[in-house]
Each structure stands twice: as structure tokens, then as C-alpha cells.
Amino acid sequence: MRLDSFLAKALQQSRAKISPLIAKGLIEVNHKIVKRKDMHISDDDEIRYMGEVVTYQAFLYIMLHKPSGYISATKDAKDPTVLDLVPLNRDLFPMGRLDKDTEGLLILTNDGKLAHRLTSPNHDVPKTYLAILDLPMTIEEEQIFQNGIDIYDGNQHLFHTKKALLEKKDELTYHVTITEGKYHQIKKMFMKFGKKVTYLKRLSMGPIKLDPTLPIGGYRLLTKQEIELLKEI
Ligand code: URA
């Protein structure tokens, strides 16, 4: 089969969209960058796109380094969405949500069953964020924050947060781990103490950590190992 036909099938793109990926040197066959789209490949060849092995699979799992300014949805009337950053025509959607101004790890997939399971409120998947505040927290406030507090969820129902973990990095910077994902949860939790979150970035979701080599706005396929870890949660 021709290389561009295989990639068109695997990534569900037209051959016209595949050609520039090959021309840019993003495709390797057996560890060598290939720039000939009409190259013939066989089942024994290993094809990589941006370093990751491409096989024809029904489901795709993508790690995106979400920039601020993008909505975690498939469509929006006003603002760009995270799907504008990932030009793969595979019915992808974000697994969970980050606020428009939050950066960091967002997993996109078309595996509805897995996404539903991992984002279900009964499934305590720990998510760690880097949060920078405008004012310092006292030790007592940190304790109360970690033990659980009452905030309003997105439907204005009072909600008691589960135990959280705060790791102080400097006077105004924390790594915060929560297992829930209520609307604006981290911002509301700090706001309970009168502190405003001035910067928020998700660093990890369960065993999946934001790849430090991914530039803001960049994406890559999850590795086979990462996909297995995700399915084990
Ligand atoms: N908590 C927030 O307040 N915002 C996010 O984007 C994620 C968690």
C-alpha cells in the first residue's frame, strides 16, 4: 500500500491533508524520515507520526498541551475550541474540561466508553494542577482546604469537596491534587479563603503526566504504554 494511503486511513484524513505531514518530515518508516508519499509499505514496516507508532486503530488518544484562550468543547459559537488545535478528523472530544484560561494537560479521544468511565464523578481520578495565587495562604487555611470545604457546584448546589493535597512550592505557588472536577473547582476552593488563582495549569491526570517537551498548543499521540495505564485506572 502507498504510504499516504495508509496514513489517510489510519488518521482518517484525506490524502491531500497527509501530503504536508510527509513533506514536513513528520513521518518515519522504520526509523528513517521519509518524504516520498508514494513509497510502498508492507505490514512489516513500522510507521511513526511525530515519533509515535501509527497503526490503524478505531480509537485515538491524544495528549494536548492546552493553551489559555481555548474552550474544552467540540464547538463554540464565539471562541476557538481545543479541536481547532488538533486537525485530525476522527470525532475527537476532550476527556473532561479545563477552563478557557487554564493551560496544561488535556486528553482528547474518540473512545466514549473510556472517557465516560474516567470522567464519571464516582471514579476518583487524581488530577494535579499548578496554581499561582495573588495572596498567601496561612497554615490553618491550607489544613482546612485539604480536609474539605463547602463550595457551590456549576448548578448552584452546595457541595463538600473530598480530601485534597496541597504541596507548597513557594509563597504563592502550589501543586494541588483533587479527585473531583466541579465547575471552576480549584478557583472556588481558593476563593473560599479570599485568594484569587492568577494562573492554573494541569500537570497530570491519573498516571498520565503532561509531556514537558510538548510546547503550549502542541499535541502528540499517547504512547501504547500511556494508553494501557489510562485503561487500568
Ligand atoms: N479547577 C478550575 O478552577 N479550573 C480548571 O480549569 C480546572 C480545575
Class of CATH domain 127-205: alpha beta
The three three-digit cell numbers of residue 198, written as one number: 492568577
C-alpha distances out from residue 164 to 71, 154, 160, 178, Å: 26, 19, 11, 5
Catalytic positions, written as ranges: 99
Class of CATH domain 61-120+213-232: alpha beta
Cα 230 to ligand 1 centroid, rounded to whole Å: 21
Where does the chain hold its CATH 3.30.70.580 domain(s)? 61-120+213-232
pLDDT value at residue 13? 85
CA 208: distance to chain centroid? 9
* Strand partners of residue 33: 28
Gap between the Cα atoms of 200 and 13, Å rounded: 34
Find the radius of gyration of the CA atoms of the chain. Answer: 20
Residues with CB under 6 A from ligand 1: 98-99, 102, 184-187, 200
Where does the chain hold its CATH 3.10.290.10 domain(s)? 3-53
C-alpha distances out from residue 13 to 24, 56, 74, 175, 218, Å: 16, 12, 18, 39, 19
Nearest atom (ligand 1) to Cα of 102: 6
Cα 109 to ligand 1 centroid, rounded to whole Å: 20
Where does the chain hold its CATH 3.30.70.1560 domain(s)? 127-205
Gap between the Cα atoms of 79 and 67, Å rounded: 13
> Which of 10, 6, 4 is CA-nearest to residue 23?
4
The three three-digit cell numbers of residue 38, written as one number: 508514494
Question: Any idea which architecture 3-53 has in CATH?
Answer: Roll (3.10)
Gap between the Cα atoms of 120 and 117, Å rounded: 5
Mutational test site, ligand 1, from 97, 125, 127, 185, max ligand atoms within 8 Å of CB: 185
What are the backbone angles phi and psi of residue 132, rounded to the nearest 5°? Answer: -115, 130
Q: What are the pLDDT tens digits along the chain (233 aa)?
A: 899 999 998 887 889 999 999 999 999 999 999 999 999 998 789 999 999 888 877 789 999 999 999 999 999 999 999 999 998 777 899 999 999 999 999 999 999 999 998 988 788 899 999 999 999 999 999 999 999 999 998 888 999 999 999 999 999 999 999 999 999 999 999 999 999 999 999 999 999 999 999 999 999 999 989 999 999 98
pLDDT value at residue 88? 79
Mutational test site, ligand 1, from 82, 129, 201, max ligand atoms within 8 Å of CB: 129
pLDDT value at residue 70? 98
pLDDT value at residue 132? 98
Nearest atom (ligand 1) to Cα of 187: 3
